[in-house]
Amino acid sequence: MSGSSEAARWGRAAALSLLAGTVGGAAVLAGQAIAARSREYAQPELGLVLRATVGRAAAPPLRLVLLGDSSALGVGVDRFEETIGGQLAHLLAEGPTGRRVHLSSVGVSGSRATDLATQVARALLGERPDVAVVLIGANDATALSRPADAAAYLGSAVRRLREAHVEVVVGTCPDLGAVRAVAAPLRQVLGWSGRRMARAQTVAVLDAGGTVVDLGTETGPVFRADAGTLCHDGFHPSADGYRVWAHALLPAVEAAAAVAFRHHRRPPAG
């Protein structure tokens, strides 16, 4: 997700006012879009640098990089251990395979799929990561971008990472119908847009050789039921929300790490 930048784009959601069916309904959507723009949203914590090493020194190493929007930075929390990257790193380090996780993030708050090319270039600088986790889609959905276009940019980013022999796990657009920063019917419009985005993302990622975790389907019901999964702005995840996402992503990331480890240990050809 993103900070105040994506909220400004919500004004475009009023363009779907015909879904309301009446002029009165359109006015409600327009009013809610204005209210969404005026809210204060969580901002990136400048002192929170997502570059750390977690785990026993003797454990098998895993270079894990996060790409995407504010979710990849942990916007909404103020401690490393509460971010999705920090929680994933600790789960991988403490799990049955026990990894020494070298974690970094090249995510940028407010990013959309068109921004991933630059992030991929940054992720591939220096020592190649073993696994990349990409969290993207909410800003494209709130901007009402064409799902096919956004998914094509995502697929291209995944393909570049796979060609560099990086295992890729993509968390698709989360359930925007669970946010509490806006009310119905605008919330339903955002939820509909997010589902369309996630479906297009799934096809593109699988075609590019990546692994998909459908965050909307797997974690949306939890976010809808528990307001505590969102931070104070009612839009970005809280520490509990990132924990829910981390556990949803964990099986796919562990599987990707196992593949990367086997490739790392494989003797060179010839």
Paired residues of 135 in beta bridges: 68, 171
Q: Is residue 233 flagged as an active site residue?
A: yes
Q: For position 28, what pLDDT does the model report?
A: 41
Residues 130, 175, 214, 233: which is the catalytic one? 233
Q: For position 261, what pLDDT does the model report?
A: 87
Q: For position 182, what pLDDT does the model report?
A: 85
Q: For position 26, what pLDDT does the model report?
A: 46
Q: What is the mean pLDDT of the chain?
A: 86
Window from 7-16, 38-47, 60-69, 100-109 with minimum mean pLDDT: 7-16
Mean predicted confidence (pLDDT) in 91-112:
94
Q: For position 185, what pLDDT does the model report?
A: 84
Across 91-115, b (16+ Cβ under 10 Å) vs e yields: bbbeeeeebbbbbbbbbbbbbbbbb
Q: For position 37, what pLDDT does the model report?
A: 54
67: number of CA atoms within 13 Å, CB side?
28
Residues 102, 130, 175, 236: which is the catalytic one? 236
Q: For position 96, what pLDDT does the model report?
A: 87
- 51-265 in CATH: which number? 3.40.50.1110
Q: For position 1, what pLDDT does the model report?
A: 58
Residues 17, 70, 104, 238: which is the catalytic one? 70
Q: pLDDT tens for residues 215-268?
A: 999 999 999 999 999 999 999 999 999 999 999 999 999 999 999 988 765 444
Q: Is residue 145 flagged as an active site residue?
A: no
Percent of all residues in the chain with a pLDDT value above 70, rounded to a whole number: 79
Q: pLDDT tens for residues 144-195?
A: 899 999 999 999 999 999 999 999 999 999 999 999 988 888 899 999 999 9
Q: pLDDT tens for residues 37-56?
A: 545 656 766 555 578 999 99
Q: What angle do CA 185, 146, 122 make, to 5 degrees?
A: 115
Q: For position 7, what pLDDT does the model report?
A: 47
pLDDT over 50 at 33, yes or no? no
Q: Is residue 115 flagged as an active site residue?
A: no
Percent of all residues in the chain with a pLDDT value above 90, rounded to a whole number: 72
Q: For position 161, what pLDDT does the model report?
A: 98
Q: Structural domain boundaries of the chain?
A: 51-265
Mean predicted confidence (pLDDT) in 50-71:
94
Q: For position 9, what pLDDT does the model report?
A: 55
The helix-helix angle for 147-163 and 116-123 (nearest 10°) equals: 10
Q: For position 40, what pLDDT does the model report?
A: 60
